[in-house]
């Protein structure tokens, strides 16, 4: 817990409001409650800023007129947010063996594991050698966790789930802010990962924790080896994703989807239920109609690719036009 005054001092900000206000955590502008700090980077969120329940917000001077609560005024909101996140990141110390506060329910635990404090392991669950389960994590009944798996702080895993060797659950997301000197500042990700029942996760697959809210993998999902799921992604029930696919942050994938190998999904997209995506495709827009999709192009300069992409979408109309012209010529 930190006071608003302490936080403002950290980022050299102008403080508006009570400097002694206790801030317990960070939250997005829509989800924030009392004693939480949020942030707004754009005027398009002015309505959410005006109605937020957050006790304080990080904003620029131009947004102050829309703010009805305490505020930290800065030039670069996103950079300040990145710096502040590290104040609220729990510190984890790995100690070999099983912490005295862990509830293991007589789970089978192989040698050289690290089971953190306040963790829970379900009945008939098996933990492979050299696996790390960090503080405040929970694993359900009848799970099989392979060797050299890392289940990081605060992760929740449902019943009858299998996680193969080398997987990392709850890794830090790829969030960075740039300062005026073009130097990067990492964002500490404070959300967790929630995995449902009957999920299979392949070897060396990584699932990042959410930035502020959680990353969700719903029941029945199948993830192949070497799949990457970024922060705040939501994957619907019974969706299957093949190897070497990467899902960028804050994407939502529906139920019963099948995504082929080496597919790339751009962030902040929505894919509806019952979608099939063929291997090596790139998804760069929302998919709102169920069906099979393919999006493969050869490598070329980006501007040329954009031009070709426009022409390809008009190919049917061009063909119709040329056929009409050809029929007129034949008529002459």
To 10 degrees, what angle do helices 302-313 and 315-331 make? 60
Given a cut of 90, whether residue 295 has pLDDT beyond it is no
What average pLDDT does this structure show over 25-37?
95
324-328: list long-range contacts, CB under 8 Å, 24+ apart: none
- Does the structure show a pLDDT above 80 at 331? no
Across the chain, mean pLDDT equals 95
> Does residue 231 have an active-site annotation?
yes
Is the model's pLDDT at 299 over the cut of 80?
A: no
**Max CA pair span of the chain:** 93
**Domain at 2-88: CATH code:** 3.40.1390.10
Residue 193: band (very low, low, confident or very high) from pLDDT cuts 50, 70, 90:
very high
Predicted pLDDT at 305: 80
Whole-structure pTM value: 0.89
**pLDDT of amino acid 298:** 65
**Percentage of residues of the chain with pLDDT beyond 90:** 85
264-280 pLDDT tens trace? 999 999 999 999 999 99
Of the given ranges (131-135, 281-285, 327-331), which has the lowest mean pLDDT? 327-331
Residue 71 pLDDT > 80 = yes
Active-site residue, from 231, 268, 302, 328: 231
**145-149, 226-230, 309-313: range with lowest mean pLDDT:** 309-313
Q: Work out the pLDDT band at 57, boundaries 50, 70, 90.
A: very high
Length of the chain equals: 332
Whole-number pLDDT of residue 332: 58
Q: Which CATH architecture has domain 97-293?
A: 3 Solenoid (2.160)
Query: Mean pLDDT lowest for which of 37-41, 137-141, 185-189, 307-311?
Result: 307-311
Question: CA nearest 279: which of 299, 293, 298, 300?
Answer: 293
């Amino acid at each position: 817990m930190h006071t608003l005054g302490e936080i403002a001092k950290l980022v050299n900000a102008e403080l508006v409001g009570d400097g002694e206000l206790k801030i317990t955590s960070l939250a997005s502008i829509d989800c924030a409650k009392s004693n939480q700090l949020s942030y707004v980077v754009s005027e398009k969120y002015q309505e959410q800023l005006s109605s937020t329940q957050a006790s304080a917000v990080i904003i620029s001077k131009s947004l102050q007129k829309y703010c009805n609560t305490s505020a930290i005024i800065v030039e670069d909101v996103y950079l300040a947010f990145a710096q502040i996140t590290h104040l609220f990141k729990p510190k984890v110390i790995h100690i070999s063996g099983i912490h005295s506060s862990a509830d293991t329910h007589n789970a089978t635990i192989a040698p050289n594991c690290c089971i953190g404090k306040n963790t829970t392991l379900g009945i008939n669950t098996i933990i492979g050698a050299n696996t790390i389960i960090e503080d405040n994590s929970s694993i359900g009944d009848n799970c099989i966790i392979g060797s050299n798996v890392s289940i990081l702080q605060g992760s929740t895993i449902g019943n009858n789930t299998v996680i193969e060797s080398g997987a990392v659950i709850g890794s830090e997301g790829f969030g960075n802010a740039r300062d005026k000197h073009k130097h990067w500042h990492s964002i500490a990700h404070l959300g967790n990962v929630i995995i449902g029942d009957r999920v299979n996760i392949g070897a060396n697959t990584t699932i990042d924790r959410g930035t502020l809210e959680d990353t969700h993998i719903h029941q029945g999902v199948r993830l192949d080896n070497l799949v990457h799921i970024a922060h705040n992604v939501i994957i619907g029930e019974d969706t299957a994703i093949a190897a070497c696919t990467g899902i960028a942050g804050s994407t939502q994938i529906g139920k019963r989807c099948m995504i082929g190998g080496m597919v790339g999904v751009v962030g902040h997209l929505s894919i509806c239920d019952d979608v099939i995506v063929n291997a090596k495709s790139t998804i760069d827009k929302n998919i709102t109609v169920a069906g099979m999709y393919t999006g493969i192009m050869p490598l070329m300069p980006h501007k040329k690719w954009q031009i070709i992409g426009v022409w390809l979408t008009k190919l049917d109309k061009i063909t119709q036009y040329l056929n009409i012209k050809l029929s007129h010529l034949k008529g002459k």
